[in-house]
Amino acid sequence: MSKKPLILVTNDDGITAPGIRTLIEVMNTIGDVVVVAPDSPQSGMGHAITVNSTLHVEKVVIDNGPQEEYSCSGTPADCVKLAVRQILGREPDICVSGINHGSNSSINVIYSGTMSAAIEAGVEGIPAIGFSLCDYNWSANFESCKTYIKSVTENVLKQGLDSGTVLNVNFPKLDKKDIKGIKICRQAKANWVEEFDKRTNPQGREYYWLTGKFVNLDHGEDTDEWALENGYVSVVPIQFDLTAHHSIQYLNTWDFED
């Protein structure tokens, strides 16, 4: 009998979030699951790591398993680092992060704790996937994601991923019967037009709430935004080498001499 894969599960919404509980349920049908996830929501943390305070990890029992679970006081990236260096005992066969409550398509990927956990695993040479549902509701229905999550995960385990690449998978907010399938996409060119809502507290101190509007500047039909708007699951291979290779030749034409 073949050995079951060791699967590391994490997220940024916290270990009790419905999204990660759904992801754990699916992963339990594929392999041996170890969960290392934040003890509280860490959305928008990006690739932050804890360097100025201590980290605490506690073994917990949230449901009947059979997964092994640890609650961590740190960020999603911290969770992956601790799992690999202290908890697992060996390198996992795959790391899956999510299911995030909310979109991580296009520019959102750079702010995402969900994706940063997957990227941290990728940096360690571990095949990794981040999963997100375009529904910010804590009580979102994740049922439509399950079949696709299992398919994508099993394909990665079987086929592997290119070195330096992880997958960013986003689900439209649709019933399963209305999802048209999977599209392999590129990241759309989009951004947030941000504003700060300035207020004053009862003590007279000014404070700000960040608000903003998401603007898609990309009209291509090969993007994650197009796929999601048209009823598809978007799968974007992303890389964590941030070098703009196309600019190297141009920069070499500059004169840096005094």
CATH number at residue 88: 3.40.1210.10
Examine residue 129 and state whether it is found in any structural domain, yes or no.
yes
Whether the pLDDT of residue 194 is over 80: the answer is no
* 199 belongs to a structural domain: no
The answer to whether position 51 is within a domain reads yes
Average pLDDT, integer, range 148-177: 97
Tell me if 256 is assigned to some domain: no
| 43: confidence class by pLDDT, cuts 50, 70, 90 | confident
At residue 74, the 3 state secondary structure works out as coil
CB 99 within 8 A of CB 131: yes
Residue with tokens 């398919």: 151
The model's pTM is 0.91
Q: What is the pLDDT of residue 2?
A: 52
- Residue with token string 């649709």: 174
Tell me whether residue 201 is in a domain: no
Does any domain span residue 83?
Answer: yes
User: What's the mean pLDDT when you consider all of the chain?
Assistant: 92
pLDDT for the residue numbered 1: 39
The stretches of 135-188 forming alpha helices (DSSP H) are 146-159
Q: How many percent of the chain have pLDDT more than 90?
A: 78
181 is in which domain, residue-wise? 6-186+221-251
- What pLDDT shows up at residue 214? 77
Examine residue 180 and state whether it is found in any structural domain, yes or no: yes
Cα 67 from Cα 10, distance rounded (Å):
12
Alpha-carbon torsion angle 231, 232, 237, 242, nearest 10: -10
Flag whether 197 is in a domain. no
Which of 27-31, 46-50, 76-80, 233-237 shows the lowest mean pLDDT across its residues? 46-50
pLDDT at 27: 98
Number of domains in the chain: 1
